[in-house]
Amino acid sequence: MKPIAIFRHTETEGAGYFATFLDRRSIPWKLIAIDRGETVPAQANEFSGICLMGGPMSVNDPLPWIDKVCALIRAADAGNIPVIGHCLGGQLISKALGGSITRSPVKEIGWGSVSADNNESARQWLGDWREETGMATVFQWHGETFSLPPGAQRIFTNEFCPNQAFTRGPHLALQCHVEMDVEMISEWCKSWAAEVEGLDPLPATLQTPEQMLAETPTRLPTMRRLADQLYSAWIRGLNYSASE
């Protein structure tokens, strides 16, 4: 069984709950640690799917691995191998498939909400969950945002950053974070001061570390249900038969 490739771009933004989800279903995965200098695989068909995690860099930065990852995403798209991206990962999918990444209208940090779109992709990916709630609790930590590439449909939005998630075929790009666990949230809070430097007063879209950590016990279980829905829909597209 071919593994899922999980790309980590910085040590503090690992696979989190996504890896837990795969382990519980005995789905193999392989970590590719870009932050440790590991090379981008040349062939997408080595994997049943590709997962891209977050990172503090921009996809517009002149980093040597970005074009290689984008080429791998395009190869996966051509080979019907599903790709999922979280925040930076979602932006990489957008860029690779013809979208653009720009400064977000407002920086979002901490717990927030997104609402489901009413279109075919949202109904397909969200199923009964969409009919039952329509709103989702998510974790945010971003200052840039993606556009929708040709052929994509948005499935989540909010009033601060319109494009929160899109799908295209078997691919799912998330601007928000649904992969968080308690350890990751605690670790990210250590960089909060640098993230909000110069923002006075803080906009309503930025929580303090105290607010984030206080809300985690109630918010995280709710977000896990959304993550289970999205990840379950995504793994249905895993391609174990892609030619070598």
Give the pLDDT score at 165: 98
Q: What is the C-alpha to C-alpha distance for residues 119 and 197, in angstroms, rounded to an integer?
A: 39
- pLDDT tens digit sequence for 65-92: 999 999 999 999 999 999 999 999 999 9
Which of the four pLDDT bands, split at 50, 70 and 90, describes residue 242?
low
Continuous segment of H or E residues that includes residue 84? strand 83-86
CA dihedral 56, 62, 64, 65 (to 10 degrees): 40
- pLDDT tens digit sequence for 45-62: 999 999 999 999 999 999
Give the pLDDT score at 40: 98
Residues 6+ apart with CB under 8 A from 35: 8, 9, 10, 11
Give the pLDDT score at 240: 82
The tokens describing 123, both together, are: 């109904």
User: Across all residues in the chain, what is the average pLDDT?
Assistant: 94
At residue 168, does pLDDT exceed 70?
A: yes
Lowest-confidence segment of 169-173, 235-239, 240-244 by average pLDDT: 240-244
Domains of the chain plus CATH, in order, are 4-235 (3.40.50.880)
Read off the DSSP letter of residue 36. Answer: G
At residue 200, does pLDDT exceed 80?
A: no
